């Protein structure tokens, strides 16, 4: 079945460090891929998405490229800020019309000043 695997956290970085959070998926066909972010005490918010192979989603300095050959959608940011501290969720939605979103377990990021 469909699944999403994320690297375990927490990830602790200093401000302005480079960030990578790994995400791989298992799915048949061509799912849409997402990164959602959850700030403390809040619900999840869509950060970026990609709907087909080689697409790059980007937002707020974050980027992720849909790599079908490696079934990956790694999240990157060149220079993190303290305000980026949050939990990041990788997710997929199969494009066959299903409503189901499969979420990873989340990766907590802590950025220290």
CA 103 vs. chain centroid, Å, equals: 10
Q: Based on the shown chain and the rule CB under 8 A, indicate whether residue 103 belongs to the binding site for another protein.
A: yes
| CB 102, min distance to another protein, A | 9
Give CA–CA dist 2/72, Å, rounded. Answer: 13
Q: Does 70 bind another protein (CB under 8 A)?
A: no
**Nearer residue to another protein within complex by CB, 42 or 69:** 42
Sequence-distant (6+) residues with CB within 8 A of 3 are 25, 26, 27, 102
Give Cα separations from 6 to 14, 58, 103, 112, 113 (angstroms).
21, 19, 9, 22, 25
Piece of 55-63, 65-73, 77-85, 99-107 that binds another protein (CB under 8 A): 99-107
Shortest CB 14 distance to another protein, Å: 26
Contact footprint for another protein (CB under 8 A): 32, 34, 36, 41-46, 49, 51, 89, 93, 99-101, 103-106
């Amino acid at each position: 079945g469909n699944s999403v695997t994320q690297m375990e956290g927490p990830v602790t970085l200093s401000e302005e460090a480079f960030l990578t959070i790994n995400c791989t998926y298992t799915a048949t066909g061509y799912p849409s891929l997402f990164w959602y972010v959850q700030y403390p005490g809040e619900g999840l918010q869509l950060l970026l998405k990609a709907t087909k192979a080689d697409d790059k989603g980007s937002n707020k300095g974050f980027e992720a490229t849909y790599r079908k050959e490696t079934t990956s959608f790694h999240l990157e940011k060149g220079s993190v800020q303290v305000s980026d501290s949050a939990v990041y969720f990788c997710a997929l939605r199969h494009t066959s019309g299903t409503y189901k979103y499969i979420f990873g377990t989340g990766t907590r990021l802590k950025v220290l000043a």
